[in-house]
């Protein structure tokens, strides 16, 4: 009974918490594009919201001195509109970051040499390094939602403004498109239909698509891990009940 109740409560909490951050139902990683494409996607049938970000992977010097990958998202108008899709929860410091500042996720935070108000060292594409100030720590429930490696294999996560891109030797462009849908956002077939429509619009605009993914609004990235653990606990629970009953029955039979 305890295991069953835990499963019901945890599953409901996962779905409620994930739905609250307005997760992306559709994701496309493409060649660089600008906001004109985002505005066009917003007016497509079935699309409720669309937001473009620039996603890049650099290397950061870790607490033990090694270089580790860090995935950084540059979000347009972060100081005005914020992240409309895949919202994050501030745990410490300030949000959003300013220019030449970064906010990091608490996922694998222990790998970084500093916390809020400290500086981390990034290695740029040219091989140069820059010191960037950490001004906040957030919790992002959508880490691992693309299915490429999942939550536990995801690298350190960071968030910056689009204006900081040039300082890190990148153009002020977008290469990742998040889309939420109207209608039943938990209907996989409906999500595929909208994704095909968005995909055609992207290709018609001259962009190449490198990665695409769909995910229902109630499908938390860690749901599979929770369900696997719960299944094991339920199986062990049934075995314990069966063996206990078997032991008591035989003991009482011997006493009688």
Q: Are 38 and 50 in contact (CB under 8 A)?
A: yes
Q: How far apart are CA 67 and CA 182, in angstroms?
A: 42
Tell me the mean pLDDT in the region 95-102: 94
The half-sphere exposure of 5 on its side-chain side, counting CA atoms within 13 A, is: 2
Both ends of the chain: CA-CA distance in Å? 31
- Give per-residue pLDDT as tens, 49-82: 999 999 999 999 999 999 999 999 999 988 777 7
At residue 23 the predicted structure's pLDDT band, cuts being 50, 70 and 90, is very high
Q: How far apart are CA 129 and CA 232, in angstroms?
A: 47
Write down the pLDDT at residue 72.
96
- Give per-residue pLDDT as tens, 131-181: 999 999 999 999 988 766 678 888 999 999 999 999 999 999 999 999 999
Phi, psi dihedrals of residue 237, rounded to the nearest 5°: -60, -45
- β-bridge mates for residue 119, sequence order: 133
- β-bridge mates for residue 188, sequence order: none
């Amino acid at each position: 009974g305890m295991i069953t109740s835990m499963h019901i409560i945890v599953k409901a909490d996962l779905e409620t918490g994930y739905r609250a951050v307005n997760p992306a139902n559709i994701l496309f990683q493409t060649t660089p594009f600008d906001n004109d494409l985002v505005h066009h996607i917003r007016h497509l049938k079935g699309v409720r919201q669309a937001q473009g970000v620039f996603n890049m992977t650099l290397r950061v010097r870790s607490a033990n001195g090694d270089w580790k990958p860090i995935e950084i998202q540059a979000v347009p108008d972060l100081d005005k509109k914020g992240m409309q899709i895949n919202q994050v929860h501030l745990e410490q410091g300030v949000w959003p970051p300013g220019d030449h500042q970064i906010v990091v996720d608490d996922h694998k935070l222990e790998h970084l040499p500093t916390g809020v108000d400290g500086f981390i060292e990034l290695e740029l594409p040219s091989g140069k390094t820059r010191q960037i100030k950490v001004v906040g720590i957030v919790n992002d429930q959508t880490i691992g939602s693309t299915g490429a490696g999942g939550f536990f294999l995801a690298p350190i996560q960071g968030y910056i403004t689009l204006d900081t891109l040039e300082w890190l030797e990148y153009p002020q462009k977008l290469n990742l498109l998040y889309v939420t849908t109207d209608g039943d956002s938990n209907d996989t077939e409906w999500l595929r239909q909208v994704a095909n429509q968005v995909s055609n619009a992207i290709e018609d605009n001259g962009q190449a698509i490198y990665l695409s993914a769909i995910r229902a609004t109630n499908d938390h990235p860690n749901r599979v891990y929770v369900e696997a653990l719960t299944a094991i606990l339920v199986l062990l629970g049934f075995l314990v009940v069966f063996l206990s009953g078997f032991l008591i029955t035989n003991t009482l039979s011997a006493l009688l």
